[in-house]
Amino acid sequence: MRAVKISIVLVTSLIIPFAASTVSSASYSVSSTWPKVPSIGFSASDDSLIETQSYVTGLSYAEGATSGLYTRTVSCASVDDSLCANADSIFAQMILPPCSATVTQMCVQSLEVSDAKGVLQKASLGYEIPGQKYPASKIRNSPVGGSPSVWNAKDSLNSSGADEYAVSVSTTFQNYQNKGCTQFVTAPCGFMRGFRARVYPIDRTSNVGGDQKCLWVESQKCAKSVDFAPGARAAVTLRIDNLLTGFLFGRMKNVTLDLTSLSSSTNLLRVEADPIDVPKIYAYVAKSDLSKYPKIVDYWKDRRQQLAATDFTSNDTVDTGPSPEWAMGDFTAFEDLVKSGPLVTSIWRFGTQSGNGSGSKCFDDKSKLQGLVTTNAPTYLPNPPAFENGELAYKVAGAHYLEDGVTLFKGSYDLVLRSDFARCLYGFTNAPMQAKISVVSTDGSTQDIATESLREDAAREWLYLSAKNFTFSSPTIRVKLSQAIAVEAKPTSGAATSQGTTPSTVAKEATPSTVAKKSTAKQITITCVKGKTIKKVTGTSPTCPVGYKKK
C-alpha cells in the first residue's frame, strides 16, 4: 500500500483528544472484522456515539495531589454550581437548543433538506428531546445546555420514508485551572473548547426491546439513525459566538459556507453540503506471527510503553481503537495489512479539531474562521493543511479497496478557504485565483485527478476547492494557488499615440515570491445529471462524478 498526501496550489488569474488503547476479550461479539485468534492491531470508524445530553462534571486529582490523573468526579447542575467550585477542573458538554424568544445566542436557527427535485426546503421545528437543561453562565461565558432538536421536512423524506431529522450541535468546554481561573475563555487560564454539529435522519419505531441501537427512547418509541434519501443535501444555520475561529473539519462533500456577523459577539454560520460515506479501516497481526513483523513490534512497544509486554502474551485481542483523526500512526505502522470494513453511510457533520496551522504567519490570526476541510478518507491528521514550499498540504489515508477487496475506494476532498487568508498565504491581490490540485503518494508518484474544481463566491469571501476520485492508501493532497495580474509594460517605440506612445499590458502569474509567466489554465464548467439531480463541475478538464452523465 502507499500513503497519499493532498497538496493544493492556489494560482490567481487576475473534545479532549483521547487515543487511549482499549483491550477487549476475543470472545466478545464485536464485528465481522474482529480477529478469530488473539492479535494486536487497530480499527477506526466514524460509527461513533452521537451526543444527546448536556452535562457538567467537576474533576479533581487524588486527595492532597496537585497534578496527575483525575480520580474524583462530581455532577453539577451548572458550571457555576457550588459543588464544582472546589474541583481542579470543570468539563461541560452543552447541546445547543433551537433558537427562540428566550434563547437568541448559541442556538440552532434552521435546518434545510433538499426535496425530490434537489431544491432545499426549510424544515419546521418539531420539538427538543426531553433532558436536563443547564443555564448559560455570564461568569464563565458558556451557553445554555439543552438536547438535540427534531425537525420535520414533509417534502424531504429520508431513506425510511419518515420526514424527521435530528440536529445535535454540541459545544465542549474544559477549564484546567478551575481554582485559579473562573472563565473558559480568558488567558492565561488553561482551557479547551470544542464544537461539533451533526444532522442525522431518524426513524422512530415501537421499542420492542433487544439491541436496536436507539439514539434515545421516548414514549416507548426508539429513535434510530437512518440514511438520507439518495442525492439528498442538507443545510444548517447556527447562531454561534465569534470565538469559533481557525479551521473546521467535516464529514460531508460539495460544501458551501456562509458566515455573517450578527453582533460584536455572535455570528450567523450556515453550512450546506451532501452527506458522505466513509469505510471503517482495520489491521491485526496474530500474536503467534509477531516475529514476522519486527517493525510493528517496535512501533507497538513505543505506542503502548509498559503495557506492550502484557499485550504480546495475553489471550486477548488488543485493539487501540483510535478515532479516525488519531489513527494515522497506527495506519502507517500496519499499512501493508490495512483493509476496509463496512461503510458508515450518510454522515453529515462538521466541527473543530485540536491542531493549529503551520508554515505561515497567516495562521496566527485567531480572530476569524479561516476554512473548512472535508474528506471521506478513513483517517487524516487532526490539524489544518500545512503550508509547505508554496503549497497547502494535507495528509489522508485509507485502504486501496473497499470491503469487497475488488472495488477501488475513490477519495473525496473539499477545502473552503477564507479568500483573504488565501491571499495572505500567497501575497496575492484581489484578482481572481486559479488552483492546481495534485495527489502525491509516498513513493513520489502523482495521480491524475478525475474531477477538480475551484470557485470563489460572488463577494470574494470564500474559495472552494475540490478534488474527487483519487485513490488511496495514504496520499498527501497538495493545493497550489496562482494569480494572473495585469502588469503595465514599458511603452514600445514606434507605436505612437496622441502622447507619442502606446502602452501595452501583459498578463503575468503571481507566486508568493515573484511575478512569473502567464497562467495557461482555463476553467471549464460542465453540467452533470443523475435522475433529477443536477451538478455543475468546474476544472481544467472536468468530468462528471460516478453515476452522473454529462448533459
Cell triple for residue 135? 443555564
Q: Is the dihedral of CA 156, 158, 162, 166 positive or negative?
A: negative
What pLDDT is stored for residue 478 in this prediction? 87
Percent of the chain with pLDDT over 70: 77
Please give the residue that has the higher pLDDT: either 186 or 327: 327
How many beta carbons lie within 10 A of that of residue 299, not counting itself?
17
What residues contact 499, with CB distance under 8 A and at least 6 apart? none
What pLDDT is stored for residue 62 in this prediction? 93
Percent of the chain with pLDDT over 90: 49
Q: How far is C-alpha 53 from the chain's CA centre? A: 22
Place of cell 511575478: 515
Tell me the pLDDT tens digit for each residue of 449-467.
Answer: 655 677 888 777 898 988 8
Q: What pairing do the DSSP bridges indicate for beta strands 533-539 and 39-44?
A: unpaired
| Helical ranges in 409-511 per DSSP H | 419-426
What pLDDT is stored for residue 368 in this prediction? 84
> Rounded distance, CA 207 to CA 223, Å?
9
Residue 290 backbone phi and psi in degrees, to 5 = -60, -30
Q: How confident is the model at residue 534 (pLDDT cuts 50, 70, 90)?
A: low
> Average pLDDT in the 46-73 region?
90
What pLDDT is stored for residue 119 in this prediction? 97
Q: How confident is the model at residue 481 (pLDDT cuts 50, 70, 90)?
A: confident
Tell me the pLDDT tens digit for each residue of 426-453.
Answer: 787 776 667 777 777 766 677 766 556 7
Cell triple for residue 21? 488503547
Segment 217-224 long-range contacts (CB within 8 Å, at least 24 positions apart) = 218/129, 218/130, 223/166
Let me know: does 493 contact 24? Beta carbons within 8 Å: no
Tell me the pLDDT tens digit for each residue of 330-353.
Answer: 999 999 999 999 999 999 999 987
Tell me the pLDDT tens digit for each residue of 361-388.
Answer: 887 776 788 899 999 999 998 778 888 8
Query: Residue 10 pLDDT more than 70?
Result: no
What pLDDT is stored for residue 41 in this prediction? 97
What pLDDT is stored for residue 498 in this prediction? 35
Tell me the pLDDT tens digit for each residue of 175-217.
Answer: 888 877 766 655 556 567 789 999 999 999 876 666 678 899 8
Which residue spans within 123-163 are E strands per DSSP?
124-128, 149-152
What pLDDT is stored for residue 328 in this prediction? 92
DSSP string, 257-286: EEEEE-SSSEEEEEEEEE-EEEEEEEEEEE
Of 149-163, 255-269, 270-284, give the lowest mean pLDDT range: 255-269
> Average pLDDT in the 35-43 region?
97
What pLDDT is stored for residue 180 in this prediction? 74
What pLDDT is stored for residue 187 in this prediction? 54
Query: Residue 519 pLDDT more than 50?
Result: no
Amino acid at 230: P
Best mean pLDDT range from 67-71, 311-315, 521-525: 311-315
